[in-house]
Amino acid sequence: MGRPRDGSSRGFFCQKGAFMSGKTKKKIRWKEFLPYYLLALPGVIYMICNNYLPMFGVIIAFKNLNFRKGILGSDWCGLDNFKFLFASKDAFTITRNTILYNVAFIVLTTVLAIAIAILVNEIQSRFASRLYQSLILLPYLMSWVIVSYLVYAFLSAETGLVNNAILEKLGLKGISWYNSPQYWPFILTFVSLWKSLGYAMIIYFSSIVGISQDYYEAATLDGASKWQQIKCITLPLLKPTVITMFVLQIGRIFYSDFGLFYQIPMNSGTLYSVTRTIDVYVYNALMKSSDFGMSSAASVYQSVVGFIMIIGANARIRKFSKENALF
């Protein structure tokens, strides 16, 4: 038999060579990225252990927990824990406080952080700019326990700075701050802004620094004022960062800051109507009543609503700005 004249054998070997070459390339590429996979492995293991394995405890929300029988052996109670939660007046209070506080924090933090970032960016001295950034960020690095004692030093009824150094000098009667709920929505909002503003400001400041100076130089040549440059250049180019931060904060709107709402008011019972959020409620239910079922139900409720809100917010953003959506 002679060799085929149409070159089919040569084509076969070429295809085989190409197949082997592609396979070899994939193998080489896998080996090339192997060090990165190994570097990511500890983080992946930690995330699985810290974030996903504890999710097994979700079933406690649907069981009448009995420690003698164990989690799996305890009797199923269906949605009874949720019924007890929503039948009480606490469900409305903790939901209202959690949503209203976080909405106020998101709006005020975003507006003030952008304003401060723009002002810091206008400082010509590099040393002064770094100094202001460090001073504004410093409260964010403090523990809530330390912040709570700083607040107590100001608001203590007997030795507080506000009562003794301000109200007394003005001839006004001292206020028992930790027994007066009407003041605490403003106090908590101020303390939250004071502590978290620096972190948000740094993020927006980094985005502003990344904007090309060519835009501002062209605007200056056209006679644009500083306000016009901010309105027509800085704010529009900050839009992707603002949207990303907004969606992430919306996802955490039911994840209230436990340190803020528990440590700052010193867990005062008279302030529960304005300081109790979902996280504080879950903690108090565990520590005082040991009601694991209702506490788990509140946690599941918090997670599900937060998940729905972040999906809804992202879907809404995709309608008018698809490129800025998270997914």
Please report the pLDDT score of residue 57 as a whole number. Answer: 81
| Distance from chain centroid for Cα 134 | 21
Q: Where are the domains of the chain?
A: 1-41, 75-142+193-324
Please report the pLDDT score of residue 154 as a whole number. Answer: 93
> Where residue 27 falls among pLDDT bands split at 50, 70, 90?
low
**Tokens standing for 310?**
């972040």
Mean pLDDT of 19-31: 58
Please report the pLDDT score of residue 249 as a whole number. Answer: 84
CB 273 within 8 A of CB 93: yes
Contacts of 112 (CB under 8 A, 6+ apart): 193, 197
Highest mean pLDDT out of 85-94, 188-197, 305-314? 188-197
Please report the pLDDT score of residue 26 as a whole number. Answer: 57
Mean pLDDT of 105-121: 93
309: nearest Cα among 257, 251, 256:
251
> Where residue 63 falls among pLDDT bands split at 50, 70, 90?
confident
CATH of 75-142+193-324, one of 1.20.120.450, 3.60.15.10, 1.10.1670.40, 1.10.3720.10: 1.10.3720.10
Please report the pLDDT score of residue 202 as a whole number. Answer: 93
Q: How many CA atoms lie within 13 A of 189 on its CB side?
A: 18
Terminal-residue alpha carbon distance, the chain: 62
Please report the pLDDT score of residue 28 as a whole number. Answer: 61
Give the tens place of pLDDT for each residue, 166-213. Answer: 888 888 888 999 999 999 999 999 999 999 999 999 999 999 999 988
Give the tens place of pLDDT for each residue, 281-299. Answer: 878 877 777 778 877 888 8
